[in-house]
Structure 1
């Protein structure tokens, strides 16, 4: 463990504190813990115990800081990145891409220079949370997520960009529309002000947005030249077959595998490494996902083909199937009848409110 100062702050935390005034001038206010002169409201020597204090919540990543945009109290993420990653993230946030509904890459609020660091940039974006947190309530809510991911990766490929790391770690949910009050970025079950629980609506009633994030390994290719082969990377704990063989491959085919594996391990089969259960109700995607994760890259469908097949599958789903419960296979059987009964009444309320079975976020 790196050495801490007298207040229990690490070297990386102090690096961000040194930029407090810079961010304030740009219109962003960091939490009390990361303001000059901060003193903890708790005993910093309680390193073995979870600190139940707002100012005891440490940053989640050395390169990511949370802050409030002072103009409207929006919680944002400020990410320190290399200039190359900033280039791709900025590409999908320009006016042309930003207006395209098929673009599901995270949209930057702005890009700031890092003082005295020419090879680094600060990317400012809305603070997001993991998908399925809150969990999907219906099959239709899951379909909204799949649609965004398939459409988004297809759009990246149409723009001659390979993500190359599109695992569960690198997709996120902008859930601000779901919450009645802002949630805390480090302890998301609590409100930002640390007073009480952060209450939220369902994905059906207040649809979130799903985005690809983290473009550190992404590549932009010249459309006038043949796309070069790339060595596949380990992503989300999984290495594609071509990566295990050490054989360079079309990066678009590797992207297809990674997205298919995301759906397989997060929904169809679960992920035993992370003790994540599967979710019942999505078997209609099994044939498509099986083709996406084929061992031989040349046998995998392109994202255009994946998109066409996906929308054909979804068109055949009944409204009742889409509104049925997405049940985690770890659910206690005793509770299922009661949850099923509640779900019927909840579904009736969504029908009265005219909420579509596949949620549609506001543009």
Structure 2
């Protein structure tokens, strides 16, 4: 990691902390103006985390160790340790005792999302599970919550946001698009509509990129929070992109035509997180615009998307594919330095015969 990368990382971390504090203060002000009680802590955890503390020992008996902040009765300096961090109220992280794997526990209500487990199991059970085109996250375990018929825990692998760390090359972006289209095409082949392909629901299995575990709440840090976590590039260790969250997905009987679902708020991730963020992706705009048509009947099927996308990226030169993915808000002088380092690194990749599109050889 170069000097400017470290500098940018610190700036991003500082900006993120400032935004979180501003959001917290705005939230407290809103609650005060509405005559509501302030957001409070019970001891060393937030009120939304009490459920996890109360089920700490039960989960430990099942072989899932929550972080120490949830241990009941533990006297600790909460704010000064890494355990001050938490995820969403319905989501938590744990270590699986049987093999030391870092996992995510997701608490759902079947009465609200009755199809999530059924569809997740269908897509990740044999013979579908072993198919290369399948990019659906595997449910590692399903745990009914005792004394509560409307709560279930789903155990999932620990993943990263698909765009974290940022893409380094156009070829890496192409690889992401190929896998995302392939995954959607696979689901549609088996008559499943995901219906919520927003950026938060496409994640990355980066276990090959990150030799040591990262912290689930601060992915740029090691799990022990003592240092930043080191990683390989996507070109060196290609990740696998996965779709998560089948809460509003639907599975259909075999039809003569594809079901046309109404568009879901949030849109598709390509426009928001790629075209609006990186320079040089104009070649994606016509296809993405068609995919985001407000009228479902005007949107191309995933088979049509895939057939259009292959010649689109095959028309790109090797140098275009290896060119640097430049953020639109990047500082000019930082960009010059990064470009120099990038081409030195790219020459090394060429010498090692690493493909420009990381997980596949161009046809």
Specify the TM-score bucket, using the shorter chain as the normaliser. Answer: 0.7 to 0.9
- For residue 147 of structure 1, report the CA deviation from its aligned partner: 0.9
Name stretches of at least 5 consecutive residues in structure 2 with no aligned partner.
1-37
Structure-1 separation of matches of 2:128 and 2:192:
13
What's the counterpart of residue 131 of structure 1?
Answer: 162
What's the counterpart of residue 251 of structure 2?
Answer: 220
What's the counterpart of residue 322 of structure 1?
Answer: 321
1:102-251 residue pairs with structure 2 within 5 A?
102-223=133-254, 230-235=261-266
Structure-2 separation of matches of 1:225 and 1:121:
35
What's the counterpart of residue 131 of structure 2?
Answer: 100
Q: CA offsets per residue over residues 27-61 of structure 1, 9 Å max, x none?
A: 2111100122222314xxxxxxxx45212112x11
- For residue 79 of structure 1, report the CA deviation from its aligned partner: 0.5
Structure-1 separation of matches of 2:260 and 2:300:
17
- For residue 133 of structure 1, report the CA deviation from its aligned partner: 0.9
- For residue 232 of structure 1, report the CA deviation from its aligned partner: 3.9
TM-score (norm 2): 0.82
Change (3 A) 1:225 1:320: closer
Counterpart check, 1:4 vs 2:11: no
Name stretches of at least 5 consecutive residues in structure 1 with no aligned partner.
43-50, 236-257, 271-277
Structure-2 separation of matches of 1:89 and 1:182:
26
Residue 96 of structure 2: which of 69, 77, 101 is its match?
Answer: 69
What's the counterpart of residue 243 of structure 1?
Answer: none
What's the counterpart of residue 52 of structure 2?
Answer: 16
Change (3 A) 1:286 1:231: closer
- For residue 281 of structure 1, report the CA deviation from its aligned partner: 2.2
Structure-1 separation of matches of 2:316 and 2:259:
39
What's the counterpart of residue 271 of structure 2?
Answer: 264
- For residue 227 of structure 1, report the CA deviation from its aligned partner: 6.6
Structure-1 separation of matches of 2:137 and 2:290:
27
- For residue 209 of structure 1, report the CA deviation from its aligned partner: 1.6
Structure-2 separation of matches of 1:161 and 1:113:
25
Structure-1 separation of matches of 2:291 and 2:319:
27
Native 8 Å contact 1:40 1:55 kept in 2 = no
Native 8 Å contact 1:181 1:198 kept in 2 = yes
Native 8 Å contact 1:221 1:227 kept in 2 = no
Native 8 Å contact 1:129 1:174 kept in 2 = yes
- For residue 224 of structure 1, report the CA deviation from its aligned partner: 5.1
Structure-2 separation of matches of 1:316 and 1:227:
30
Native 8 Å contact 2:133 2:186 kept in 1 = yes
Number of residue equivalences: 319
- For residue 17 of structure 1, report the CA deviation from its aligned partner: 1.8
Structure-2 separation of matches of 1:297 and 1:227:
10
TM-score (norm 1): 0.82
1:49-68 residue pairs with structure 2 within 5 A?
51-58=79-86, 60-68=87-95
RMSD of equivalent CA atoms: 1.9
Change (3 A) 1:310 1:52: farther
- For residue 110 of structure 1, report the CA deviation from its aligned partner: 1.6
Residue 80 of structure 1: which of 107, 110, 125 is its match?
Answer: 107
Q: CA offsets per residue over residues 46-98 of structure 1, 9 Å max, x none?
A: xxxxx45212112x111111011123322110101233211111221112121
